[in-house]
Amino acid sequence: MQSASAAHHHRRYLYGILMAGVGSMLFSGKAILVKLAFGYGANAETLIALRMLMALPLFWSIYWWESRRKQMSPLTWLDRGKLFFLGFLGYFLSSYVDFLGLQYISVGLERIVLYLTPTIVLVISYFVLQKPITRMQWYALVVGYLGVTVVFIQDASSTGIHAWLGMLLVFTSACSYAMYMIGSGEMVRRIGSVRLVVYASSASAVLSIAQSTIYDPSAIFNQVAPIYWLSLLNASLCTVIPMLLIMIAINRIGSPLVAQAGILGPVSTIFMGYLILSEPVTWMQIGGMTLVIAAMWLLVRSDPPKKKSPDSNESSDVDDAKILN
């Protein structure tokens, strides 16, 4: 009986690691699809609108399924207002400036910058919320930003001033998502992660469609077929499906291990960029990526064990950012 239980636990652990790794790689594939869509003449405004419009029915299907499984407390109008603002920060603004930045830098640099989101959460928490930073976390900050600098030098040598603009836009995206993660900490514990994601993504869809309509009222309906297919893949394979995989993995193996499995994201993006987009892979780029991954490993290792009750789902803002970015 004991060996059967141990074998079941081992399988559950392996499946959790597998789902976390696959989810991280699928999330990272978003940048590849956006770059391909730019090649067909699409703009950032249209792409984000199509992505959120196509993801919305999938998110609400998940919400419907989840609501059948457990009772959900009603939301107040204040809750809805907070969710709308969080959707603006974490799904609309963050995605929009990220898409803009991808026009100027490689997918490898974009993913590495976004992978720094936990360090941004750390810095904001330190200066705004007066949360202390340990010595190990300071080391992680220094190593991580040194790694980004190395990769940025590689991009700047080939694209010049455009690399600065792209870097600024993607870093703004990471900052916006970091603020979303800090702001969502209290709400995700109270209303649940599924409901938070569904309502926030719905707000983003409304904002994205409104922006695209103002920019070009007919753009959503006048794209070539490949852009619609790429947007559908982006919405399903690189947005909703990895979100589900990550959430299941967290339930199986916990957020720290899921965060460590997330290192596959920037690694896979660099090599997908090489295979699909013919972006060069240099030793400088690999070295910078290694430094950033080492920084995230230090950050995961620096988190002290949390004392909580068996039925508690509480997690830190930094943990959430490490997982969901």
Reported as a single tens digit per residue, the pLDDT across 124-139 is: 888 888 888 888 888 8
- Domain membership flag for residue 3: no
Q: 75 lies in which domain range? A: 13-324
The pTM (predicted TM-score) of the whole model is: 0.85
Q: What tokens were used for 236? A: 């399903």
Please count the structural domains in the chain: 1
- Domain membership flag for residue 27: yes
- Domain membership flag for residue 1: no
What's the CA gap between 84 and 90, in Å, rounded? 10
What is the b/e burial string over 52-89, where b = at least 16 CB atoms within 10 angstroms of the residue's CB? bbbbbebbeebbeeeeeeeeeeeeeeebeebbbebbbb
Q: Where are the alpha helices (H) located in 192-223, listed in sequence order? A: 193-215
- Domain membership flag for residue 4: no
Range with the largest mean pLDDT of 21-25, 65-69, 80-84: 80-84
- Domain membership flag for residue 191: yes
pLDDT tens digit sequence for 194-230: 888 899 999 999 999 999 999 999 999 999 999 999 9
pLDDT tens digit sequence for 297-311: 777 776 554 444 433
- Domain membership flag for residue 296: yes
- Domain membership flag for residue 7: no
- Domain membership flag for residue 220: yes
Cβ neighbours of residue 53 under 8 Å, at least 6 residues apart?
205, 208, 209, 220, 235
